[in-house]
Amino acid sequence: MSVALFEAHQLHKRFGDQVVLESISLKFEEGQLTGIMGPNGAGKTTCFNVLTGRFKPDRGSVHFAGEDITGLSPRRIARKGLSRSFQIMNLFDDETALDNVLIASPGVRRRGFSMWSDFARDTAARDAAFTVLERVGLAAQADAQAGALSYGERRALEIGVALATEPRLLFLDEPTAGLGAEGTARIAELIATLKRQLTIVIIEHDMRFLFGLADRISVIHWGQVIAEGTPDELRHNPWVQRSNLGMLA
């Protein structure tokens, strides 16, 4: 078996006396789209936070592209090519959509301590940022203030900012949270176009959304991975069947 792009081994995380993650092991293969699902409070977001460096795990290890990244800061992890979006929106609200993407771009990151050059005049970086906006369908809103965008547009921009860092692996935390059917469909379409271009991991509790997109799915419950497999395999999983997925069968 080939070495996965991303591998988490026996992660354990507790807050106070509450164990949130109990020995979680996950593998994400290069080029695949993996879904992580589970009920509310199952530890999905905590799991993401540990995987992307926001929290340090108490035990266990995280490897990305063959490198041990356990306990590294989010900044270092981001620089290695791992990017994430947030369930609760995390944008630079006073900046335009274009500048949101631009600030996240590796070009600006490299030249961030340049104190004399003009941010607004770097046309190459602006063009690249504009391309990212086009990918997430926000080209027309490039000059609109992020705080003034509609909820659905902000969801798309959330993904755009994560994409702007030119990641190898993209984590999306509930990209459809709070969206209606139409908005969810638009995000699904967007993610479908990104699929195969890079490795993607999505947390979602909208199972229909996930089953339609993912190559593989891991089900997390009580801080543990309780089931894993392709969407087809999981349809026959007793847990998945019990949790009102009759509509998918």
Partner 1 sequence: MLVTLVVLATTPLWLSQVGLYQYLAIEIMIWMLFALGHNLLLGYGGLPSFGHGAYFGIGAYAFGLLQLRAGAGLLVGLVGAVLVTAVLGALVAAFISHRRGIYYALLTIAFGQVFWFIAGKWHSVTGGEDGLLNIKRPDLSLAWVDVSLRSNQAFFYFALAVFALALVGLWRLVNSPFGRVLRAIKQNEMRAAFVGHNVWLYKWLAFTISASIAGLAGALFAMAQQSAYPNVMSLHNSGFVVMMVLIGGGLVSFWGPVIGALVFILTRDLLGAYTETWLLWYGLLFIVMVLFQPDGVAGGWQARRARRAAVARSGHNKLPLAAQARET
Residues that bind partner 1 (CB under 8 A): 52, 54, 73-75, 78-79, 83-84, 86, 90-95, 99, 102-104, 106, 108-109, 111-120, 122, 161-162, 164-165
Q: Which is nearer to partner 1, 84 or 216 (CB)?
A: 84
Question: To the nearest whole angstrom, how small is the minimum distance from the Cβ of residue 162 to partner 1?
Answer: 8
Question: To the nearest whole angstrom, how small is the minimum distance from the Cβ of residue 15 to partner 1?
Answer: 18
Q: Which is nearer to partner 1, 56 or 79 (CB)?
A: 79
> What distance in Å separates the CA atoms of residue 124 and residue 42, rounded to the nearest whole number?
43
How many CB atoms sit inside 10 A of residue 184's CB?
A: 20
- Residue carrying the six token digits 């990244």: 69
> What distance in Å separates the CA atoms of residue 67 and residue 113, rounded to the nearest whole number?
27
Question: To the nearest whole angstrom, how small is the minimum distance from the Cβ of residue 120 to partner 1?
Answer: 7
Q: Which is nearer to partner 1, 122 or 217 (CB)?
A: 122
Q: Which is nearer to partner 1, 162 or 187 (CB)?
A: 162
Which burial class, exposed, middle or buried, applies to 94 when counting CB atoms under 10 A from its CB (0-12, 13-18, 19+)?
exposed
Question: To the nearest whole angstrom, how small is the minimum distance from the Cβ of residue 103 to partner 1?
Answer: 5
Q: Which is nearer to partner 1, 79 or 236 (CB)?
A: 79
Q: Which is nearer to partner 1, 60 or 107 (CB)?
A: 107
Q: Which is nearer to partner 1, 116 or 246 (CB)?
A: 116
Question: To the nearest whole angstrom, how small is the minimum distance from the Cβ of residue 83 to partner 1?
Answer: 7
Question: To the nearest whole angstrom, how small is the minimum distance from the Cβ of residue 238 to partner 1?
Answer: 37
> SS3 string of the chain?
CCCCCEEEEEEEEEECCEEEEEEEEEEECCCCEEEEECCCCCCHHHHHHHHCCCCCCCEEEEEECCEECCCCCHHHHHHCCEEECCCCCCCCCCCEHHHHHHHHCHHHHHCCCCCCCCHHHCHHHHHHHHHHHHHCCCHHHCCCEHHHCCHHHHHHHHHHHHHHCCCCEEEEECCCCCCCHHHHHHHHHHHHHHECCEEEEEECCCHHHHHHHCCEEEEEECCEEEEEECHHHHHCCHHHHHCCCHHHC
Question: To the nearest whole angstrom, how small is the minimum distance from the Cβ of residue 75 to partner 1?
Answer: 5
